[in-house]
A and B are shown apart, each in its own frame.
Chain A
């Protein structure tokens, strides 16, 4: 099984879950919405050819610009055709993130960002759907209304928390409560599928570029077969298979999650503060450690003289 298939099988289910959430929970979908969703799903083809990703996301960028223009231009909640377009974007968004994730095998940063953004979109969709009053089948327009309302409430609650006594005293945050057990399991499966295949890979940017060939300028004539000078012919060492490693990384992730859970359980209001402090401290330590060591002074070298005072 190739690494692309493995990534698809581990990462794909959570995004399919996000799409299924909308397909099953909202209806009926207009043809416009389905076409827009299909256009947004185009980056999935980049799983086969990562080089195509740039071209495949161009139509979706045009759709995002159209979405932004519609949202700004239409007062109140969108209805009719514009609502179909925006609902189609919501429908295709999880597959769009999945396509970018699968189309960036050499860019783990992009893949991780796509995963996080995709999970966020699923959480916001799930929260919006759960806020819709119980109806036989909510329409896309009703879903959009619920989504904008939920998002507005989330912003208002965060604003209130910032103005008041922090998260401990904040009113209920609409997005905070979404924790479908299937979603949680699939989200962690996707995280493993995004990060664990990195073990044993390398950054192509670290390797220096190969020296440019100037074979076109080679003299065209070689006189005869030439001797090999100093043909020592010592055999080269065959490459040795690297140890995969990963104990430290997986251990670090487990410890980080355990600490977060412990703090969240004992003092939930301070959990995000602890995360922020921990992240800042880790970044400072990384920047400190990654500095190359100073070159040692040669034995017998004089200390640098103090700068002469300018007269």
Chain B
């Protein structure tokens, strides 16, 4: 292929020939002929030698690597290209890397001189910025002639699919509350007092006890006793993600859905390390989009994290009433629902849907994005006041959404771009300790 520079010089040489022809001057014509001969011979030789330039001229080896990495992990990779046959040439190699990856070390591009039999290696370290599915590669080789007039491109090898999952923060929490220890880790007996259904013992009544737990037949007017129950040894959790456009607020890589996914991943990590509880995933936009029943085990968590990594916005609305109703239909055992929704539309019959959910023994905790808090303050904000107005509008909307949810008895937490992890951790700790969020 003749590049832009090549065509430019050819046109210039032709113009020089025309000037020489107009002047009919031997000096001008010889200069123009020499220039044209110089350029044309280089192009002709290059195009003749590299006519069949292509991927079959090379051997490509990509270093082994993982299929999935967390957003706060680094990926060290390398690709080795060896010219199998053909003439040596000036080469430029570069590996195609997604835009959402930061280059931490090394270089994805190398200008060198390719010689047959001598391997050329690109080695670099990447860090993804945003969860999602990506392709790394293929590797490209550009051969150019000595004057930079012509080039040929070969695309080598296949792309590698890479899933960037939310960060694994649970492993690095530092000191965690006793409630988050597994029973074996904490040295506790397998049976604990709690709010389960299995009877454990009777004990004297205390003023903080729920009056409904008094064992009336065993009690006397002067000595009230209450029933104690075991805590459920295995609890079910369901992460519910609203994928509607209402969760699109915020900057790229840090919008309401991204923060919700990060918090959901934290919950899944906590559950994974407990070894007892089970967690599932339900995504919703204009109806249920995905449903992964609660489960555990490496395969289940891998599937769960992959789906969290690829959760993306979808068209349609997410009325909270229908969302709760659909979740209730799909759950068989008592489950704690962690619902991340913008609650743009509560939907008709929210109180009925929530009452049905409670009647089946489920509990729901609502996490509502404070969309005004997903945009950092900007210098122009004071000048135009448009952003200030928008923030006020959004705060009003959030207040109405929270009021609607709380009016039917839902426990609701607002969150912003700083994350929802602390709220999720609080709720999960409460559930592990008391069986519900107080």
Contact = CB atoms under 8 A, between A and B. Distances in A.
B29 interface: yes
Given A253-B38, A289-B51, A123 B27 contact: yes
Given A109-B9, A232-B77, A244-B146, A239 B52 contact: no
A214 B252 contact: yes
A240 B148 contact: no
Contacts of B51: 289, 293
Nearest to A256: B37
A266 interface: no
Contacts of A113: 11-12, 15-16
A222 B23 CA distance: 70
Interface string B122-153: 11110101000000000000101111111100
A178 interface: yes
Interface in B310-347: none
Interface stretch (A29-37, A65-73, A205-213): A205-213
A279 B313 CA distance: 59
Nearest to B419: A221
Given A119-B28, A242-B90, A217 B253 contact: yes
A264 B24 CA distance: 12
A309 interface: no
A215 B104 CA distance: 13
Interface stretch (A50-58, A74-82, A134-142, A182-190): A182-190
Contact of B10 (A202, A283, A292): A283
B364 interface: no
B355 interface: no
Which of A113, A123, A255: most chain B CB closer than 10 A? A113
Nearest to A249: B42
Contacts of B22: 120, 154, 158, 175
B33 A257 contact: yes
A131 interface: no
A311 interface: no
Nearest to A268: B26
B147 A237 contact: no
Interface string A216-255: 0111111110111111111111011111111011111111
Nearest to B122: A236
B8 to A, nearest CB: 3
B38 A110 contact: no
Contacts of B142: 206-207
Instruction: Describe B's contact surface by its main secondary structure.
Output: mixed
Contacts of B15: 113, 116
Nearest to A198: B147
A217 B3 contact: no
Contacts of A9: none
B379 interface: no
Interface string B31-54: 111111111111111011001101
A167 interface: yes
A271 B25 CA distance: 12
Given A124-B23, A236-B107, A208 B38 contact: no
Given A227-B74, A230-B65, A191 B35 contact: yes
Contacts of B34: 188, 191, 253, 256-257
21 contacts: A108-B9, A116-B20, A119-B31, A175-B24, A202-B144, A203-B149, A214-B99, A218-B102, A221-B418, A226-B72, A229-B76, A233-B76, A236-B124, A237-B110, A242-B112, A245-B146, A253-B37, A275-B29, A276-B21, A293-B52, A293-B54
Top-4 shortest CB links A-B:
A252-B41, A256-B37, A109-B8, A116-B16
Given A239-B112, A289-B47, 7 more contacts: A107-B5, A199-B147, A215-B102, A217-B251, A236-B107, A242-B112, A245-B145
Interface of B: 1-17, 19-45, 47-48, 51-52, 54, 63-66, 69, 72-78, 80, 88, 90, 92, 94, 97, 99-100, 102, 106-107, 110-113, 115, 118-125, 127, 129, 142, 144-151, 167, 169, 172, 251-254, 376, 418-419
